[in-house]
Structure 1
């Protein structure tokens, strides 16, 4: 594209095609004030490239969040950085957590999954029935665990003592997943809210600009009509 189809960005002083710049008339006043503070030569005839305007838009959003919430958290700063860089915040946290899981954590998840299934309940019930049946039939001879089945109680106690902390380990991992998922939802919702607020402001600015243009056209038409009347 030739230079006559390019304009100079008033912020970075580089030339860009018209499709990659925005006129200053379409920049909201609060955001324009931030630009003027750094670049006093910014006026109604200036242009700004998209990268520079994104930078000042991020600063503008940061001022809004700071005014509403005070000091920004690390999550909110991450959202502002994503707005500046146009990054995507949505991610599959399950894959990330599973990839970082250790062998013990994976084993705890499998034990908790098996221990909370009907397969485990039916299998364990079958073992109990067989155990009690064998020792009941062998009452007249010499059972290895006679009534009241003390060895069975010992096995059940050991199994419960081992299974409980393993299940707690799995629950802790699930809580960590839920916490990461909640933080990710907060980042995505905050970014969506800021983007929607920016779009609303931009639409209001465009409508105001169009209304001003219509008034200018109406004034020109009125002037032409008056000239025609005077000629008559």
Structure 2
């Protein structure tokens, strides 16, 4: 049994054991593309922009800067002396690329958030509509039950009246039979 068969059988399983896709209400919005598309550049740029905020990046950059300064202060090769103009240029270049990449990642995330918010709103609307339908069905069923209860009460009263009439006729017949003897 492969993963698809397992998933298909899990989706048909009733009750709490059923494996639910927690993003199933977002699937109608899966066709929405990002403003920047889903090509390799946009995906790689977003991944790189997300990397800027990680501890690994900060530690690696700190280590590189420390080595750079150490080599230029006490090392045998002094390719960027004290005001560290080349290091400053490298930081400026990094900032020039980082800012647009971060903005690109934020824009793509905003697009995803908007699609998810729309899917959530649509899901809430669908829930409200189904709740309204259920309430209407319950109201109709309650009216039907009241009508059945009324009919049952009428039938019970008719049975009571007929039972009283039978009792009266039985007594009357008994009196006639007893008088004839």
CA RMSD of aligned residues (A): 2.3
Give the equivalent residue in structure 2 for 1:36.
none
**What TM-score results when the alignment is normalised by the length of structure 1?**
0.56
Equivalent of 1:150, from 79, 85, 99?
Answer: 85
Measure the CA separation in 1 of the matches of 2:134 and 2:71: 76
SS of the equivalent of 1:215 reads helix
Structure 2 residue runs of 5 or longer lacking an equivalent are 1-23, 169-181
Residue by residue, what CA displacement relative to the aligned partner does 1:161-212 show, whole Å, maximum 9, x if unpaired? Answer: 1111011101100000000000000000000011011101211210111111
Contact 2:29 2:115 in 1 (8 A): no
Q: How many residues align?
A: 142
Quote the residue 1:129 is aligned against.
66
Matched residue SS, 2:135? helix
TM-score by length of 2: 0.71
Give the structure with the larger strand fraction.
1
1:106 to 26, 43, 49: 43
SS at 1:207 equivalent: helix
Distance 1:116 1:202 in 2: 53
Q: Which has the larger radius of gyration?
A: 2
Flag the structure with more relative contact order, 1 or 2, with Cα contacts below 8 A and sequence separation at least 6.
Answer: 2
Q: Which has the higher helix share?
A: 2
Extract unaligned runs of 5+ from structure 1.
1-88
The separation in 2 between residues aligned to 1:98 and 1:114, in whole angstroms, is 22
